[in-house]
């Protein structure tokens, strides 16, 4: 008689939109076949009353949730928490999230052929500083990308602008981060990290902007209006995406595993662009916790393998 398969309970606490996109029937069914039950957590009820859980998977903000999770972990030390709220917090600030890139070291083979880093950027806390570029230029020149300082996954945190001149600054609301816009061939590379698994895919991005074009464009452009840029059409962007060469896999893997170690996080993605001024230089421009994994090929298998690996290690400890 075959021994029964050990079953594990993973409680998940996700905002409705994240729950809808991530907790697909295909993921639930595959996880169940491999002995894992995905159980929704009601964040309006005490977490201690909803267990026991072998693992808690979450992407929630707020001190109440953070304290509740901390108390639960203290009372249930055998329960895995993916990931620590304190570690996730670092990615909620667009300055601290990229500071971590400076802590990475590539292996010698990679460093000889490619380089990586982040764009020049500066944080602006008040309108007086914003409207006086002499106070913040630090090598930045137009165009710049304006991003909210807080990156908590809310709709507000995704509202960004491409600013072409001083007039465009008047539409911005500090605190914000101004980041140099680097021409990158209209293609961005999104790198998904799930534990030790790394997957890089390419997506359409903002088109390149020449110095001549900057002079003829309006003051600023929100990212929802990318299609309004001159010479931006589906045919040209499709060609750019198709022809774009993927970054060297060893470089992407080095950066991914380096970020995983530095952030102590298991679930994140980061955006990379290739600086067309220096073809073998790559810039990390954003890091996001618990991204839209359903857009990643075979995400159900990747996540289920990850769950099994984490829970398997937990059993051995």
Domain 8-83+300-307: give its CATH code.
Answer: 3.40.50.11370
> Is 223 annotated as ligand-binding?
no
> Is 190 annotated as ligand-binding?
yes
The pLDDT, as a whole number, for residue 215 is 66
- Portion of the chain with pLDDT greater than 70, in percent: 89
Span 155-211, pLDDT tens digits: 788 888 999 888 889 889 999 999 999 999 999 999 999 999 999 999 988 888 887
Task: Identify which has the larger pLDDT, 157 or 70.
Answer: 70
Check pLDDT > 50 for residue 3. Answer: no
> Is 182 annotated as ligand-binding?
yes
The pLDDT, as a whole number, for residue 241 is 83
Per-residue 3-state assignment (H helix, E strand, C coil) for 223-270: HHHHHHCCCCCHHHHHHHHHHCCCCCHHHHHHHHHHHHHHHCCCEEEE
Architecture of domain 95-289: 2-Layer Sandwich (3.30)
> Is 171 annotated as ligand-binding?
no
The pLDDT, as a whole number, for residue 198 is 97
> Is 59 annotated as ligand-binding?
yes
> Is 187 annotated as ligand-binding?
yes
> Is 186 annotated as ligand-binding?
yes
Helices 299-316 and 25-33, interaxial angle, to 10°? 40
> Which whole number is the average pLDDT over 138-158?
84
> Is 158 annotated as ligand-binding?
yes
According to DSSP, the β-strands at 176-180 and 121-124 are antiparallel
DSSP label at residue 120: -
The pLDDT, as a whole number, for residue 154 is 75
The pLDDT, as a whole number, for residue 2 is 36
> Is 185 annotated as ligand-binding?
yes
> Is 180 annotated as ligand-binding?
yes
Task: Identify which has the larger pLDDT, 255 or 216.
Answer: 255
List of residues 6+ apart from 212 with CB closer than 8 A: none
> Is 183 annotated as ligand-binding?
yes
The pLDDT, as a whole number, for residue 287 is 94
Q: What angle (nearest 5°) sits at the alpha carbon of residue 242, between those of residues 291 and 290? A: 5
- Taking every pair of Cα atoms in the chain, the longest distance, rounded to a whole number of angstroms, is 78
Q: Identify the band that residue 152 occupies on the pLDDT scale cut at 50, 70 and 90.
A: confident
**Range(s) within the chain of domains with CATH label 3.30.470.20:** 95-289
> Is 102 annotated as ligand-binding?
no
**Range(s) within the chain of domains with CATH label 3.40.50.11370:** 8-83+300-307
Check residue 20 and give left, alpha or beta (phi > 0: left; psi -120 to 50: alpha). alpha
Q: Identify the band that residue 107 occupies on the pLDDT scale cut at 50, 70 and 90.
A: low
> Is 92 annotated as ligand-binding?
no
Check pLDDT > 80 for residue 228. Answer: no
> Is 252 annotated as ligand-binding?
no
> Is 292 annotated as ligand-binding?
yes
Task: Identify which has the larger pLDDT, 3 or 154.
Answer: 154
Which helix (H) or strand (E) segment holds residue 36: the answer is strand 36-40
CB 262 within 8 A of CB 104: yes
């Amino acid at each position: 008689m075959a021994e029964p398969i050990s079953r594990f309970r993973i409680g998940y606490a996700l905002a409705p939109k994240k729950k809808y996109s991530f907790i697909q029937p295909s993921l639930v069914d595959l996880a169940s076949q491999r002995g894992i039950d995905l159980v929704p957590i009601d964040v309006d009820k005490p977490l201690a009353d909803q267990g026991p859980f072998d693992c808690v998977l979450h992407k929630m903000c707020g001190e109440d949730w953070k304290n509740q999770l901390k108390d639960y972990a203290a009372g249930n030390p055998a329960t895995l928490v993916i990931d620590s709220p304190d570690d996730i917090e670092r990615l909620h600030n667009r300055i601290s999230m990229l500071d971590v890139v400076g802590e990475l070291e590539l292996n010698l083979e990679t460093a000889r052929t490619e380089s990586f880093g982040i764009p020049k950027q500066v944080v602006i806390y008040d309108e007086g500083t914003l409207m006086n570029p002499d106070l913040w230029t630090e090598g930045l020149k137009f165009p710049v990308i304006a991003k909210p300082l807080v990156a908590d996954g809310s709709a507000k945190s995704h509202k960004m602008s491409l600013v072409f001149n001083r007039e465009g600054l008047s539409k911005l609301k500090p605190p914000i981060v101004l980041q140099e816009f680097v021409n990158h061939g209209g293609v961005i590379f999104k790198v998904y990290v799930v534990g030790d698994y790394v997957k890089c895919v390419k997506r359409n991005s903002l088109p390149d902007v020449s110095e001549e074009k900057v002079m003829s464009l309006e003051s600023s452009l929100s990212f929802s209006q990318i299609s309004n840029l001159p010479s931006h059409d589906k045919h040209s962007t499709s060609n750019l995406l198709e022809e774009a060469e993927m970054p060297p896999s060893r470089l992407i893997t080095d950066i991914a595993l380096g970020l995983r170690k530095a952030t102590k996080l298991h679930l994140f993605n980061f955006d990379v662009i290739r600086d067309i001024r220096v073809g073998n230089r790559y810039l990390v421009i954003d890091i996001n916790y618990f991204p839209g994994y359903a857009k990643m090929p075979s995400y159900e298998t990747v996540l289920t393998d990850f769950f099994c690996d984490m829970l398997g290690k937990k059993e051995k400890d």
